[in-house]
């Protein structure tokens, strides 16, 4: 090989590698900017609120030098709520990215195709009909989501293959039936239990404690690490199933594992604070557009979801301070506009 041929080969390889390097740099910069915004918003949320606490007093409480009242408000009420919003926002966003990757459709989100409704059904059955505690409710939400997912995939499969549009349509139908079942369960419960379940069903971060945060954190870390392990196989599947199979990948195992991980992340959020819609739908698409990537982009997706949910919770507490709104109402209100725009955009493509 002459020096000229070698130089041409290096140039061609460099042209192939360069877009990936640019994408990695852009992803790193975007992640850094998003986490700076998350930290700034978290500090604002911890220092501000209806309680008359100055930033100086809040800072003293954070370093362990505040009085009893200030420490209770900042450390026991606000800090766990902020951290849980960040954790659940990242979890929901990763869950949405996984299912959008599996379906190959931006509408393939667990809150659109019924998996979140199935988790809510499982949680309601355990909570209201079986009288289970928090751990049993979390297990019921996970089992309900998994059962709903396999029913939707079974009904939408045709000749062993699942198409994204068919799965979304079937998922919306199953979600509607499960929603009616949820209403029936609430109607058969006592008034007190039904009111508490309805408030929880709106997606509510109020009353979050350190015990709740630690319980969700343990489960979320397991599923988040598993999603990182699956990121490369899922990128290969995005190129094409035949290509992934030719490289020795067991596509069916990867799909089943991705379904369990995606539902696990979503079910943890549903079981702990109730169903929170549209974070899983919007965050992956926003992250992909900002990073300009066609892949999973797990880092920017997680940061985008954390920022969106924390911002929604800050707005929910300050729209009407005398009676703060559940965060799920804010995400549905904002996400409904995004969902409408996404439907119109997908319709124009076809």
Residue boundaries of the structural domains of the chain: 3-349
> Cα–Cα distance between 32 and 279 in angstroms, integer?
20
Does the pLDDT of residue 140 top 80, yes or no? yes
pLDDT of 9: 42
Structure confidence by residue, pLDDT tens digits, 104-124: 777 778 888 888 888 889 989
pLDDT at 310 over 70: yes
Name the percent of the chain lying above pLDDT 70. 86
The alpha carbon of 47 is separated from its chain's Cα centroid by a whole number of angstroms, namely 26
Coil, helix or strand at residue 325: coil
Structure confidence at residue 145 (pLDDT) = 85
Above 50 in pLDDT, residue 8? Answer: no
User: Please, which pLDDT band fits residue 90 given cuts at 50, 70 and 90?
Assistant: very high
Pull the structure tokens for residue 189: 């419960």
Residue 18 clears pLDDT 60, i.e. is over it: no
Q: What is the DSSP string of 239-250?
A: H-HHHHHHTT--
Report the pLDDT value the prediction gives residue 303, as an integer from 0 to 100: 92
* CATH for the 3-349 domain, from 3.40.640.10, 1.10.3470.10, 3.90.180.10, 3.40.50.920: 1.10.3470.10
Q: Cα 350 to chain center, whole Å?
A: 28
**Spatial distance between the Cα atoms of 230 and 98, rounded to a whole number of angstroms:** 10
Alpha carbon distance 107, 213 (integer Å): 30
Place of tokens 């604070």: 273
Q: Specify the higher pLDDT residue, 295 or 95.
A: 95
Mean pLDDT of the chain: 80
Q: DSSP assignment of 188-199, as one string?
A: HS-HHHHHHHHH
The answer to whether 126 and 136 have CB atoms below 8 angstroms apart is: yes
CA distance 79 to 287: 26
pLDDT for res 51: 73
Give the tokens for residue 170: 């079937």
Residue 307: predicted pLDDT:
93
For residue 242, the model assigns a pLDDT of 67
H-helix or E-strand spanning residue 253 = helix 251-273
For residues 66-70, give the mean pLDDT: 79
User: Which carries the bigger pLDDT value, residue 30 or residue 15?
Assistant: 30
**Which pair of structure tokens corresponds to residue 312?**
């929604």
- At residue 161, the pLDDT reads 60
pLDDT in tens, 175-198: 999 999 999 999 888 888 888 888
pLDDT, residue 16, reads: 42
pLDDT at residue 309 tops 90:
yes
pLDDT digits (tens, 9 = 90+) for 232-271: 877 777 666 666 666 667 777 888 888 889 888 988 888 8
DSSP string, 198-227: HHHHT---TT--HHHHHHHHHHHHHHHHHH
Interatomic CA distance for residues 332 and 276, integer angstroms: 8
Please give the share of the chain, as a percent, with pLDDT higher than 90: 13
Is it the case that residue 305 has pLDDT exceeding 80? yes
Average pLDDT for residues 146-154, to the nearest whole number?
86
Q: What's residue 91's pLDDT?
A: 92
Query: DSSP string covering 17-54, please?
Result: HHHHHHHHHHHHHHHHHHHHHHHHHHHHHHH-SSS---
Question: d(Cα 316, Cα 309) in Å, to the nearest integer?
Answer: 10
pLDDT at 301 over 60: yes
Average pLDDT rounded to a whole number, residues 52-75:
78
Which structure tokens are listed for 272? 């702990």
CA 262 – CA 266 distance, rounded (Å)? 6
């Amino acid at each position: 090989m002459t020096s000229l041929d070698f130089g041409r080969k290096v140039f061609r390889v460099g042209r192939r590698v360069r877009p990936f390097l640019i994408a990695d740099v852009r992803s790193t910069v975007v992640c850094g900017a998003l986490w700076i915004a998350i930290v700034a918003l978290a500090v604002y949320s911890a220092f501000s609120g209806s309680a008359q606490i100055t930033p100086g007093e809040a800072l003293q409480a954070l370093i362990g030098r505040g009085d009893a009242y200030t420490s209770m408000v900042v450390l026991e009420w606000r800090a766990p709520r902020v951290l849980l919003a960040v954790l659940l926002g990242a979890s929901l966003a990763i869950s949405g990215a996984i299912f959008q990757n599996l379906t190959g459709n931006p509408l393939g989100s667990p809150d659109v195709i019924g998996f979140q409704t199935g988790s809510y059904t499982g949680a309601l059955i355990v909570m209201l009909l079986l009288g289970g505690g928090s751990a049993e409710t979390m297990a019921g939400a996970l089992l309900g989501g998994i059962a709903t997912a396999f029913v939707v995939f079974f009904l939408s499969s045709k000749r062993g293959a699942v198409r994204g549009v068919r799965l979304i349509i079937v998922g919306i139908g199953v979600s509607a039936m499960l929603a009616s079942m949820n209403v029936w369960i609430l109607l058969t419960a006592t008034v007190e239990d039904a009111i508490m379940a309805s408030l929880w069903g709106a997606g509510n971060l109020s009353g979050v404690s350190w015990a709740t945060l630690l319980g969700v954190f343990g489960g979320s870390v397991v599923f988040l690490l598993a999603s990182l392990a699956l990121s490369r196989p899922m990128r290969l599947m995005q190129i094409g199933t035949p290509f992934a199979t030719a490289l020795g990948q067991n596509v069916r195992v990867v799909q089943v594992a991705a379904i369990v991980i995606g539902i696990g992340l979503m079910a943890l959020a549903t079981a702990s604070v109730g169903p929170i819609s549209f974070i899983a739908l919007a965050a992956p698409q926003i992250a992909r557009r900002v990073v300009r990537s066609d892949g999973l982009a797990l880092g920017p997706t997680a940061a985008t979801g954390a920022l969106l949910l924390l911002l929604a919770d800050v707005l929910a507490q300050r729209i009407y301070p005398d009676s703060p709104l559940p965060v799920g109402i804010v995400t549905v209100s904002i996400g409904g506009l995004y969902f409408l725009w996404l439907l119109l955009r997908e319709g124009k493509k076809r």
